[in-house]
Amino acid sequence: MAVNLSAPKPSQLFPIRGVRIGVAEAGIRKAQRKDLTVVLIDEGACVSGVFTQNRFCAAPVQICREHLAMGHGIRAIVINTGNANAGTGEEGLLRARNTCRALADKLKLKAEEVLPFSTGVIMEPLPYERIVAGLPAALADAREDNWLRAAEGIMTTDTVPKAFGKKVMIDGVEVSITGISKGAGMIRPNMATMLGFMATDASVSQTLMKQLACELAEGSFNRITVDGDTSTNDSFVVIASNKAAHSPIESLTTPQGQALKSAMLEVARQLALAIVRDGEGATKLITVQVDGGKTADECRKVAYAIAHSPLVKTAFFASDPNLGRILAAVGYSGIDDLDQTAIDLYLDEVHVARKGGRNPDYREEDGQRVMKQSEIKVRVALGRGACSDTVWTCDLSHEYVSINADYRS
Amino acid sequence: MAVNLSAPKPSQLFPIRGVRIGVAEAGIRKAQRKDLTVVLIDEGACVSGVFTQNRFCAAPVQICREHLAMGHGIRAIVINTGNANAGTGEEGLLRARNTCRALADKLKLKAEEVLPFSTGVIMEPLPYERIVAGLPAALADAREDNWLRAAEGIMTTDTVPKAFGKKVMIDGVEVSITGISKGAGMIRPNMATMLGFMATDASVSQTLMKQLACELAEGSFNRITVDGDTSTNDSFVVIASNKAAHSPIESLTTPQGQALKSAMLEVARQLALAIVRDGEGATKLITVQVDGGKTADECRKVAYAIAHSPLVKTAFFASDPNLGRILAAVGYSGIDDLDQTAIDLYLDEVHVARKGGRNPDYREEDGQRVMKQSEIKVRVALGRGACSDTVWTCDLSHEYVSINADYRS
């Protein structure tokens, strides 16, 4: 069902020196399913992360924030599917801590050097004893060239594993970047996505890592939505193993910093778009670009209003150019002084509405032709400034309802 | 498909002295369908209205605001279905004005004494010549006991006509109230609903009318949502024909004012709930009550986050007590300093979550039993104050997608 998204080719996922990954079947919710992933990080790496803004954030998210803030350095990551460990109160925090401690003991680390991640059903107790029992198999599986299995190991309602890689030259040194993500529903990241992990062997100063993670998230995961539901577990982690032999990058504005960020952003955006392409029930990828705003923030508001409208999304599913629904969404997006007579609407290159009304030259068959494509760009020109923003979403189909009416059964 | 909603009984819809209604088939979009309604109001009545906050508001909404502001008094209303006359630019305004003028000419009124209303597809030209051609038949049909036909005449994707009536004693004088509404999709009124009209023969001072209309809308139409899409055409109009022989009501806080407002609010709320019960594809009516907030406004925010979540709505459709989705929606509703450990969640009388985690006494079969009902109350206790608010919504079913993927075909 995913929109123009095929499984990653192992040859395009580059091993990252200093980062080993192991995957196991721990039977957390269902048997015979890769549901436990560990990431082992050599000493000397820099790690940063951004996390959901949901106030009902999951226990593992709370503990990730705590461990990262301690500044001891991060040496291992443990990820389970089948259970989100969210809405689980004090007991949930305890179980997440116990999971970190169990992995730390096996690796002779401190518990604070481990980051825990969980994804799955909310408000059910985390079966951490199954996770602990699965750790030896995951550790035995640990290798640098295991990214594809990791992408499979973190899937829930995803239909396709999501992983991308890229190489870039920094000061004549070849640097590798590889990332994985998961997510298909409860997707409206507000800092990061359901789960995204990226690693590079580039050398990056620790002080720059938080900024790098934020800027990557802003340009990728923070611009996508499937259903508008911000998850309790959104997490995006960036690892720089510092194994590459170039001088450490101290700023994102130097040529070296720009080269690395731009290559990493390309991977992050592919990972984020893969989530939309694999959005629950998705049959189309919709790019919503809003130009001509007074601020980028108001453009984003308008873009999200369009991207979240069930009426707009069902119209895309039906290939029905019922495009007044887009204008209605622009109208309720929350810009108080919006002048409807300044607004133009385009579907790819088709000029649908001009100055707030139907473009006299618009022919429905042109709209229809674009609506039938699997990838569509909606462009709204607000005519009140020079700022822009873009978000990506998918359509709303029968399959979305089926998936979410059946998810736990 | 509507949830516990049957067609109104004509005997419960009370004629309102001084208010005559006529309905006709004008062939505006489809043949042999009641699609044109006129309301003729005797001199001396007071009329007020509240309208959508959508910045892409329809041409008729703009003209209603203009005509009401002129203060000449309103003597006639003309309503068409099949076309919203929204997203139609200057030409749309002209066509709405021409419609008013045509009706005014036949009634020997000024155009400013007529209010126009349109509902249907957005961004298509209003075929006002068909409306004008249909006016004689509508006028010939005008009677005081025509409310049921009017409720039918304003339907679009509604499956059941929506009309309620009530009588109340004011100073020993019997007063009648009757109202109609329409709407099933693009429902998240932000001032009023798609279309709602209420009339009473009570005597109400003109200065009080705006306040009365606003307070009625606030307690009814402004508390419902089907899909979160605020329409371009939402309008709610209140008519007091002033024919009843009691002293005019000058304040809503006197016993007489309270009696009238309370009876009118009951009718308004029935009209609003009828829209949710008939929500596109609805199989369940969900009441979302949020208690324990610092302000009613933050309670409303939380209630709407729950009511708009596609994941919550599909879980209700499936009778699946996947109730962590409700906690997730509470978490992203936008209260920055929310403490998740203070939050309790109830489904009817079943205590699901306590202090932010699963209630140890909660049994899934109890949640399941409530989820299977056709009417369900979700109650969230925020534990941070003494304020409350309530909104009403419905579930999200396959039928919603079907209806909105096919609406124009």
Judged against a pLDDT cut of 70, whether residue A193 lies above it is answered with: no
Q: Which of B186, B328, B353 sits opposite A229 (nearest CB)?
A: B328
Please report which helix (H) or strand (E) contains residue B22, including its range.
strand B19-24
Question: Looking at residue A191, what is its pLDDT?
Answer: 54
The mean pLDDT of A266-282, rounded to a whole number, is 89
Q: What is the pLDDT of residues A143-161, one digit of tens each?
A: 999 999 999 999 988 889 9
A159 shares contact with chain B (CB less than 8 Å): no
What are the start and end residues of each CATH 3.10.20.340 domain in chain B? 285-406
Question: Looking at residue B151, what is its pLDDT?
Answer: 94
Q: In what order do the strands lie in the sheet with A195-200?
A: A46-51, A235-240, A195-200, A173-182, A162-170
Judged against a pLDDT cut of 80, whether residue B41 lies above it is answered with: yes
A156 shares contact with chain B (CB less than 8 Å): no
A266 to A241, A263, A272: CA distances (angstroms): 19, 5, 10
Judged against a pLDDT cut of 60, whether residue A407 lies above it is answered with: no
Q: How many CB pairs under 8 A join A and B?
A: 234
B327 shares contact with chain A (CB less than 8 Å): yes
d(CA A98, CA A88) in angstroms, rounded, equals 15
B227 to chain A nearest CA, in Å?
6
CA atoms within 13 A on the CB side of B352: 29
The mean pLDDT of A248-266, rounded to a whole number, is 93
Q: What is the DSSP letter of B351?
A: E
B3 to B238, B281, B287, B307, B393: CA distances (angstroms): 27, 10, 13, 17, 11
Q: What is the pLDDT of residues B294-330, one digit of tens each?
A: 999 999 999 999 999 999 999 999 998 888 889 989 9
B124 to chain A nearest CA, in Å?
7
By CA distance, what is B56's nearest residue in A?
A331
Contact B311 A185 (CB under 8 A): yes
Least confident of A182-196, B276-290, B347-361: A182-196
Please report, to the nearest 10 degrees, the dihedral formed by the alpha carbons of residues A355, A359, A360, A365 taken in order: -170
A340 shares contact with chain B (CB less than 8 Å): yes
pTM over 0.80? The answer is yes
B196 to chain A nearest CA, in Å?
19
Answer whether A102's CB lies under 8 Å from A132's CB. yes
Instruction: Supply φ then ψ for residue B379, to 5 degrees.
Output: -125, 125
Classify domain A285-406 at the CATH topology level.
Answer: Ubiquitin-like (UB roll) (3.10.20)
Average pLDDT over chain A reads: 91
pLDDT band per the 50, 70, 90 thresholds, residue B409:
very low
Contact A322 B53 (CB under 8 A): no
Q: What is the pLDDT of residues A387-405, one digit of tens each?
A: 999 999 999 999 888 888 8
Q: Given the residues B119, B178, B193, B287, select the one marked as catalytic.
A: B193
Instruction: Supply φ then ψ for residue A287, to 5 degrees.
Output: -95, 125
Judged against a pLDDT cut of 70, whether residue A192 lies above it is answered with: no
pLDDT band per the 50, 70, 90 thresholds, residue A67:
very high
B55 to chain A nearest CA, in Å?
4
Judged against a pLDDT cut of 90, whether residue B218 lies above it is answered with: no
List of chain A residues whose C-beta atoms are within 8 Å of the C-beta of residue B194: none
Judged against a pLDDT cut of 60, whether residue A209 lies above it is answered with: yes
Contact A329 B84 (CB under 8 A): no
pLDDT band per the 50, 70, 90 thresholds, residue B352:
very high
Judged against a pLDDT cut of 90, whether residue A200 lies above it is answered with: yes
Least confident of A325-339, B228-242, B357-371: B228-242
B406 shares contact with chain A (CB less than 8 Å): yes
Q: Given the residues A37, A52, A99, A193, select the one marked as catalytic.
A: A193
Q: Which of A87, A188, A329 sits opposite B324 (nearest CB)?
A: A87
Rg (CA), chain A: 22
Tell me which residue of A56, A86, A409, A185 sits closest to B368, measured CA to CA: A409
Contact A327 B57 (CB under 8 A): no
Tell me which residue of A258, A342, A260, A242 sits closest to A293, measured CA to CA: A342
B324 to chain A nearest CA, in Å?
5
Q: Which of residues 120-149 of B touch A (CB under 8 A)?
A: 121-125
d(CA B409, CA B176) in angstroms, rounded, equals 41
The answer to whether B254 is a known catalytic residue is no
A356 shares contact with chain B (CB less than 8 Å): yes
Q: Which of residues 200-239 of A touch B (CB under 8 A)?
A: 227-232
Percentage above 70 pLDDT, chain B: 98
The mean pLDDT of B34-56, rounded to a whole number, is 91
Instruction: Supply φ then ψ for residue B374, to 5 degrees.
Output: -85, -15
pLDDT band per the 50, 70, 90 thresholds, residue B359:
very high
Spatial CB neighbours of B204, under 8 Å, sequence gap ≥ 6? B46, B212, B240, B242, B248, B249, B260
d(CA B299, CA B389) in angstroms, rounded, equals 5
B86 shares contact with chain A (CB less than 8 Å): yes
d(CA A85, CA A59) in angstroms, rounded, equals 6
State the Cα angle at B205 between B211 and B198, rounded to 5°.
60
Q: Which of A186, A341, A402 sits opposite B311 (nearest CB)?
A: A186
State the Cα angle at A353 between A381 and B62, rounded to 5°.
95
pLDDT band per the 50, 70, 90 thresholds, residue B251:
very high
Question: Looking at residue B53, what is its pLDDT?
Answer: 82
Tell me which residue of B218, B201, B207, B158 sits closest to B183, measured CA to CA: B158
Instruction: Write out the two tokens for A71.
Output: 């500044």
Classify domain B10-277 at the CATH topology level.
Answer: L-amino peptidase D-ALA esterase/amidase (3.60.70)
Which amino acid is located at A306 in the chain?
A: I
Can you tell me whether residue B118 is helix, strand or coil? strand
A244 shares contact with chain B (CB less than 8 Å): no
A318 shares contact with chain B (CB less than 8 Å): yes
Contact A328 B229 (CB under 8 A): yes
Q: What is the DSSP letter of B253?
A: S
d(CA B313, CA B394) in angstroms, rounded, equals 7
Question: Looking at residue A403, what is its pLDDT?
Answer: 84
CA atoms within 13 A on the CB side of B61: 27
Reported ipTM exceeds the 0.90 cut: no
Helix A398-406, helix B310-317: angle, nearest 10: 70
Question: Looking at residue B283, what is its pLDDT?
Answer: 94
Paired strand residues for A51? A235
Which amino acid is located at A265 in the chain?
A: L
What are the start and end residues of each CATH 3.60.70.12 domain in chain A? 10-277
The mean pLDDT of B365-394, rounded to a whole number, is 95
